[in-house]
Each structure stands twice: as C-alpha cells, then as structure tokens.
C-alpha cells in the first residue's frame, strides 16, 4: 500500500524558514517524480514544486521560485521542501504527491504551515 | 504558463441530476488533464486522468471529455456522496495549474 506522510509544518514568523518532509513507502521511490501542492485555508489547490525521479530536475511555481527548494533522498525514501523567506501568503496545508507518467497517483494528508507574527 | 478557468464556481443541483463542469485553458495542450474531488478536511481524490480515463475505484457515473482548450467533467446521476468541491488540473507542462474549483451543493 502506498503511503505518504508529511511532517515539519508549524507556526513560523514572516521571514523565517521551515523544512517539510514527506516519508514515502509502498512503492519504488526512485521510479516516480514527486510534487508539492498547497492549499491556503478556504482556498483552492496550488501546485508548488516538482522533482524528477532521479532528483536531477526540479520545477517551481513563480510564487515560490528562489525561496523554496525541493529535494529527495532516495536512500531514505523521503521528499523535502526547504522553505525560506516565508510570507503570510505561504500559509497553507502542504501536500506531497506521487506522479507517474499518466497521473498524480497518490497524495498524503498534508502538513499545515502557518506564517504569522 | 497555462491558465485554467473553471466554471461554474458554484453549482446547485439535486440527487439524480446530470451535471457538467467545464475547464478552459489559455492555450492548447495535450490531454494531460485531471479531475479531482475534494471534501472538507481531506486530500484531493483523483477521479479522471488524461482527460477521459476513469481512476480505479471511481464510479462510472463520472466521465471526462474534451480536447485542445476545453475539457469537461460530467456526473451522470448525482448521488449524495458527490456533493463536494471539484478541481481540474493540467499537468502537460510546468508550472502545473489547477482550476479555481467548483463547489457542488444541494
């Protein structure tokens, strides 16, 4: 069974940093691209970032480019999102998701990030 | 970037109704278009991928169609469990983008 468990969310002040993790199990982690998608409270879904199966290619939404860094540790089956220079508008529930060629196969349950003073 | 415009934003319907939700893209792309259902407090649930492919375990009353810049999700006969928010997503090119959502309510 595929399992994705996000962690690392919490309350952080504007300008601060946070690192999210997504622990993956139940599938071959090195065979899939991974994505982060977020949802601000009461709002819609926003794609944030993606990383290729090998980790060699990364992609970002304009809203986070230069501030967020996606990475993966294939030896630990874990996806990361390093978030720096956080803003109030980054407040959201952050989901990790597996993507195969055809579709976003599975999503985690999310970790909440709140940026507030 | 491909912008996705979803309509309507809210849809009032009744059990047994046939409903259609539309997503229009700002430019043509290949059929990497997905539809999700989301209920409060839950992660999105994949319904349709690559425009018309039904995800395993999803009831056959859900169907997807479209091409180019216009895509639709149809629910043939609404059931009580279908009242939720629906999103389209293009994953043809980065940045991947979602529609703004359609809240389906009674």
Is B43's CB within 8 Å of A102's CB? no
| B53 contact A CB<8A | yes
Give B84→chain A minimum CA distance, Å: 13
Say whether B6 sits in a helix, a strand or coil.
strand
pLDDT at residue number B68: 92
| Spatial distance between the Cα atoms of A78 and B39, rounded to a whole number of angstroms | 27
Residue pair B90/B33 in contact by the 8 Å Cβ criterion: yes
Residue B106 has pLDDT above 90, yes or no: no
Is A45's CB within 8 Å of B96's CB? no
**Mean pLDDT of the B11-37 span:** 96
pLDDT at residue number B33: 97
pLDDT in tens, A23-72: 999 999 999 999 999 999 999 999 999 999 999 999 999 999 999 999 99
- Residues with Cβ within 8 Å of residue A66, at least 6 apart in sequence: none
**Mean pLDDT computed over every residue of chain B:** 96
| CA trace torsion B91, B69, A90, A55 (10° rounding) | 20
Contacting residues of B for A35, CB less than 8 Å apart: 96
Share of residues in chain B with pLDDT > 90 (%): 98
| Spatial distance between the Cα atoms of B62 and B55, rounded to a whole number of angstroms | 10
**Mean pLDDT of the A8-13 span:** 98
pLDDT at residue number A33: 95
**Mean pLDDT of the B57-65 span:** 97
Residue pair B86/B92 in contact by the 8 Å Cβ criterion: no
Maximum distance among all Cα pairs of chain A, rounded to whole angstroms: 41
pLDDT in tens, B66-85: 999 999 999 999 999 999 99
pLDDT at residue number A39: 98
pLDDT in tens, A85-105: 999 999 999 999 999 999 998
Residue B37 has pLDDT above 90, yes or no: yes
| Spatial distance between the Cα atoms of A45 and A86, rounded to a whole number of angstroms | 19
Is B101's CB within 8 Å of A108's CB? no
């Amino acid at each position: 069974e595929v399992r994705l468990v996000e962690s690392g969310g919490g309350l952080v002040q504007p300008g601060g940093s946070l690192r999210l993790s997504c622990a993956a199990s139940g599938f071959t982690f090195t065979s899939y691209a991974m994505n982060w998608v977020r949802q601000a409270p009461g709002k819609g879904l926003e794609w944030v970032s993606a990383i290729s199966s090998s980790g060699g290619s990364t992609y970002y939404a304009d809203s986070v480019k230069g501030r967020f860094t996606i990475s993966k540790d294939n030896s630990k089956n874990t996806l990361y999102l390093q978030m720096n220079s956080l803003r109030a508008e980054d407040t959201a529930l952050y989901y990790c998701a597996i993507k195969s060629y055809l579709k976003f196969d599975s999503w985690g349950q999310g970790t909440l990030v709140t940026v507030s003073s | 970037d491909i912008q996705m415009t979803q309509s309507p934003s809210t849809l009032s319907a009744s059990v047994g109704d046939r409903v259609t939700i539309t997503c229009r893209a700002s430019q043509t792309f290949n059929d990497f278009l997905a539809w999700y259902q989301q209920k409060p407090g839950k992660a999105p649930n994949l319904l349709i991928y690559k425009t018309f492919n039904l995800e395993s375990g999803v009831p056959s009353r859900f169907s997807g169609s479209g091409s180019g810049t216009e895509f639709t999700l149809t629910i043939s006969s609404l059931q009580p469990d279908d009242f939720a928010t629906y999103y389209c997503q293009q994953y043809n090119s980065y940045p991947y983008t979602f529609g703004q959502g359609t809240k389906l309510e009674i």
